[in-house]
Amino acid sequence: MKRLLACILLAAVSAAFAASDYPVQPVPFTAVRLTGGLLQSRQATNASVTMPFALGQCESSKRVLNFDLAAETMRRRAAGETTFQNKPPTVYPFDDSDVYKAIEGAAFCLSVQPDAKVAAQLEDLIKHVAAAQEPDGYLYTWRTMHPDSPAHDWIDRQRWLKDPQLSHELYNLGHLYEAGVAYDQATGSNSLLNVCLKSADLLQKDFGDGQPRIAPGHEVIEMGFAKLYRQTGDPRWIALAKFFLDCRGTGNEYSQNHKPVVEQREAVGHAVRANYLYSGMADVAALTGDARYLAAITTIWENVVSKKLHLTGGCGARAAGEAYGDDYELPNRCYNETCAAVAFLFWNHRMFLMTGDAKYMDVFERSLYNGVLSGVSLSGDRFFYPNPLEYDGKAVNNHGHAGRAPWFGCACCPPNVLRTLASLGGYVCAVQDDKLLVNLYAEGEATATIAGNPVKLAQTTRYPWDGQVAFRLSPQKPATFTLCLRVPGWVQGRPLPSDLYAYEDATPAKWSVSVNGKSVSVALKQGYAAITREWKNGDTVTLDLPMPVRRVTGNPKIAATRGLVALERGPTVYALEGVDNDGAVFDAVLPMSAKITPEHRAALLGGVTVLKVENATKAVRNESGMFTSKPANLTAIPYAVWANRGLSPMTVWFAHDVTNARPSPRPTIASLAKITTSFHRTEIDPSCLNDQLLPQNATDGFAPNFNFWPHKGSSEWVSYEFAKPTPVKAVNVSWFDDTGTGECRLPVTWRVLFLADNGQWQPVAGTSAYAVRKRDAVKVTFTPVTTKALRLEVQLPKDFSVGLYEWEVE
Ligand SMILES: [Zn+2]
């Protein structure tokens, strides 16, 4: 009965879904060729360096071995070794997904540039994947290689049950389906698609009747199923995409499981999960015509763009939980995972495909040129996981690395960059009825089909360094249609379609269009200059988008940007890096009188336009601790290419006037002291204790902390040794507590000791209360002593460790 009902439902669903999709259709990346300029050069490095590098890392990090070990376990058990199992050699049960994403990225590269050797390599890799699939279609190496008991806390004894928590079984499959479709489209080989369909059949068997209601713990399977549906036309796949969306609403905000998706109105929780979810909701809205999903993501998008987006188009400000913060919680030492920015591109593009509104591609462009491109080095083989808007030049903030890293234990970001840059052409233009919409300006050629008529569109431009774009149209036969050229928000005087940021001078720039050399007057429609006429082979259009340098301010509700200013030109957000500015950037002041001139430097950082700033100043602290300033000339580089010349401080926001500058602090008793500790792990830098860096707010994951983890319950200490006997009378301690993400809590008790003349440690006398609290520094005064060393003794809680942001001494 249940089956029959399911069949009837399915029939109804298929009828409803037939033939509907996004009203705007992208011109596929296979029909677009980038031939020069910034995007092409990044794409070329992506194909020649990042792609082989990522495939190599999948091998050397033993992610591919996981598949072999799963296959071996099945083979040996089938041959009679019924207790044989393998222990996974990697760290996370979601490591399979990195292999799938690397295959997807490599497949996209093959679509752009066929390569028999790479194709053979992928076909071989896919054999390893297929061999790890269980006979009924189940594919998850961590269970298959170790079937008798879970090989990780995140895995349940039964399939799927812990997916809403952390098993990532459905997450891996979502990436598998995306890869299977990409590989089929690139090579015409269905070897990986067959693995996908066998897996999808199992999901239909396990979930197709609407039970059990498992809400995917890390979304992406919704997008995966939408792609599988488009590739095969099988309506079961879109029904499953919808099913997995509709299961949500029984869990927490971290995985957007706190409410049914159609009732969600704010971006919350883990930002990659969130942006994948919203993209999946867009797909299901498009394919089913269910407007409730679109209503929800439209409101959520407005929440992000008006309250939760960094100037660079990065999102997910909090390191804790890799999550969206509260409204206006946009610290400069933020997290902004590369994957979150990539997923934000997917979501914005889908919002555009649904509405045809250019504002979504304005936001897309901001994220692409800044928050996404920053995720990979110019060399193509070094990556950022987080993308902060300021950096002190030394913090180990990139998942255990200071500066860009070759790979990560959790390696989601590098292959995400790979697949995105490889398929960049797919975001250049789109078709809606008789409209050809051009979204990205880049040297190259696209072929779109408008009302059955193939139209070639060639672009010649130096964008993003110059706003002049020349188009040449070659329709196969003359035809009347509308050419829509996006006129970005920054031309019109606003950084985002919201009041989150503003230009100090918001005067719109005078953009213009000419057709066959003659200036034409064109109105803006949904952000596009729309030109309707009969187009003939050889017609030319010139678009001129002036690129004045813009000074940007943040909404006063953003605490981190008060009194600060940033610089933009065209779609590019700029940053100061120490290497161009005498080693320091936080002392820079940019008064209104500063003269800012763009200057193209072909030999710098792959060829960039820098901003030369004359008549700026640098703040210095005089003897009495007050600020004065000295004249300085500054050079700003595009944010996306920071950290390509070694470690150096960097900031996107600089002081508007001298009172807001942050010159390096004056040395203190603490900052000059030598540190010893009872214990710390090798990855911990004890100088966090006296680096004079405090968190910018309660959720700033990047104020470096010192901690005793994994020691728990013990008594530990840290000591400052002074160069000579020094009078001391108070300490200020800022405790670190990562409840919710880690195992550091406030101490049970603590006290201050000094090194007495007899060489013994003695408690200081006459102390004020040893308070213990989060966030603000705790000050303890005591009877002044003169000593060569001071010690903090800390009792750790029974099951937890303790950490400190800073320990100051008066
Ligand atoms: Zn990532």
In angstroms, what is the span from residue 689 Cα to ligand 1's centroid? 29
Residue 492: C-alpha distances to residues 359, 367, 473 (Å)? 12, 18, 26
What secondary structure does DSSP assign to 248-267, as a single string? -SSS-GGGT-SS-GGG--S-
Can you tell me the distance from the alpha carbon of 375 to that of 405, in angstroms, rounded to the nearest whole number?
10
In angstroms, what is the span from residue 748 Cα to ligand 1's centroid? 36
In angstroms, what is the span from residue 247 Cα to ligand 1's centroid? 25
Q: Whole-angstrom distance between the N-terminal and C-terminal Cα of the chain?
A: 78
Pull the structure tokens for residue 510. Answer: 């005078």
In angstroms, what is the span from residue 453 Cα to ligand 1's centroid? 41
In angstroms, what is the span from residue 78 Cα to ligand 1's centroid? 37
Of 710, 657, 714, 715, the C-alpha closest to 684 is 710
> For residues 44, 45, 46 and 49, what is the CA-based torsion angle, rounded to 10 degrees?
130
In angstroms, what is the span from residue 601 Cα to ligand 1's centroid? 32
In angstroms, what is the span from residue 270 Cα to ligand 1's centroid? 11
Map residue 575 onto helix, strand or coil.
strand
In angstroms, what is the span from residue 165 Cα to ligand 1's centroid? 18
Ion ligand 1: residues, Cβ under 5 Å: 337, 339, 412-413
CA 226 to chain centre: 23
In angstroms, what is the span from residue 340 Cα to ligand 1's centroid? 7
In angstroms, what is the span from residue 451 Cα to ligand 1's centroid? 40
| Residue 777: CB atoms within 10 Å | 15
In angstroms, what is the span from residue 183 Cα to ligand 1's centroid? 22
Can you tell me the distance from the alpha carbon of 485 to that of 481, in angstroms, rounded to the nearest whole number?
13
Can you tell me the distance from the alpha carbon of 117 to that of 137, in angstroms, rounded to the nearest whole number?
29
In angstroms, what is the span from residue 322 Cα to ligand 1's centroid? 10
In angstroms, what is the span from residue 332 Cα to ligand 1's centroid? 19
In angstroms, what is the span from residue 338 Cα to ligand 1's centroid? 6
In angstroms, what is the span from residue 532 Cα to ligand 1's centroid? 43
In angstroms, what is the span from residue 648 Cα to ligand 1's centroid? 23
Mean pLDDT by 10 residues, the chain (810 residues): 43 48 94 96 96 96 97 97 96 96 96 92 97 98 96 95 95 97 92 98 96 96 97 96 96 95 97 98 96 97 98 93 93 94 98 98 98 97 95 87 90 94 96 97 97 97 98 97 98 97 96 97 96 97 97 94 96 98 94 95 97 94 77 97 96 91 80 92 80 64 77 95 94 86 88 94 93 84 95 95 92
In angstroms, what is the span from residue 343 Cα to ligand 1's centroid? 10
| Residue 583: CB atoms within 10 Å | 12
Of 281, 263, 267, the C-alpha closest to 223 is 281
Pull the structure tokens for residue 2. Answer: 């249940």
In angstroms, what is the span from residue 448 Cα to ligand 1's centroid? 33
Given a contact cutoff of 8 angstroms between Cβ atoms, the answer to whether 72 and 148 are in contact is no
In angstroms, what is the span from residue 119 Cα to ligand 1's centroid? 26
In angstroms, what is the span from residue 760 Cα to ligand 1's centroid? 50
In angstroms, what is the span from residue 385 Cα to ligand 1's centroid? 6
Question: 60 exposed, middle or buried (CB, 10 Å; 0-12, 13-18, 19+)?
Answer: exposed
Question: 216 exposed, middle or buried (CB, 10 Å; 0-12, 13-18, 19+)?
Answer: buried
Host H or E run for residue 25:
strand 25-26
H-type alpha helices, 115-190: 116-131, 141-144, 169-187
Pull the structure tokens for residue 788. Answer: 């060569």
In angstroms, what is the span from residue 573 Cα to ligand 1's centroid? 22
In angstroms, what is the span from residue 411 Cα to ligand 1's centroid? 7
Number of H-type helices and E-type strands within the chain: 17, 31
pLDDT of 697 reads 56
In angstroms, what is the span from residue 4 Cα to ligand 1's centroid? 42
pLDDT of 4 reads 44
Strand partners, 734: 806
Write phi, then psi, for 199 (nearest 5 degrees). -70, -45
Look up residue 639 and give its DSSP letter.
Answer: G
Per 3-state DSSP, what percentage of the chain is helix, strand, and coil (rounded to 5)? 35, 25, 40
In angstroms, what is the span from residue 375 Cα to ligand 1's centroid? 10
In angstroms, what is the span from residue 272 Cα to ligand 1's centroid? 8
Can you tell me the distance from the alpha carbon of 740 to that of 385, in angstroms, rounded to the nearest whole number?
21
In angstroms, what is the span from residue 225 Cα to ligand 1's centroid? 21
In angstroms, what is the span from residue 721 Cα to ligand 1's centroid? 41
Q: Is the pTM of the predicted complex or chain greater than 0.95?
A: no
In angstroms, what is the span from residue 1 Cα to ligand 1's centroid? 44
In angstroms, what is the span from residue 319 Cα to ligand 1's centroid? 12
What secondary structure does DSSP assign to 695-741, as a single string? -SSTT-TTS--EE-TT--SSEEEEEEEEEEEEEEEEEEEEEE--TTT
pLDDT of 741 reads 67
Look up residue 541 and give its DSSP letter.
Answer: E
Strands lying side by side in the sheet with 444-450? 32-34, 444-450, 453-461, 468-475, 539-544, 512-515, 518-520
Of 154, 581, 650, the C-alpha closest to 398 is 650
Pull the structure tokens for residue 432. Answer: 């809606």
Host H or E run for residue 107:
helix 95-112
Pull the structure tokens for residue 761. Answer: 């440690």
Q: Which residues contact 599 (CB under 8 A, 6 or more apart)?
A: 609, 610, 611, 612
Residue 626: C-alpha distances to residues 100, 471, 616, 619, 663 (Å)? 57, 56, 19, 10, 11
In angstroms, what is the span from residue 413 Cα to ligand 1's centroid? 4
In angstroms, what is the span from residue 274 Cα to ligand 1's centroid? 13
Task: Give the gyration radius of the chain's Cα atoms.
Answer: 28
In angstroms, what is the span from residue 204 Cα to ligand 1's centroid? 29
Look up residue 388 and give its DSSP letter.
Answer: -
Give, to the nearest 10 degrees, the angle between helix 116-131 and helix 51-60.
30
Given a contact cutoff of 8 angstroms between Cβ atoms, the answer to whether 361 and 430 are in contact is no
Q: Which residues contact 663 (CB under 8 A, 6 or more apart)?
A: 584, 586, 587, 618, 619, 620, 621, 627
Host H or E run for residue 485:
strand 479-486
Can you tell me the distance from the alpha carbon of 543 to that of 487, in angstroms, rounded to the nearest whole number?
9
In angstroms, what is the span from residue 439 Cα to ligand 1's centroid? 26
Reply yes or no: is the peptide bond before residue 710 cis, omega within 30 of 0: yes
Host H or E run for residue 780:
strand 778-795
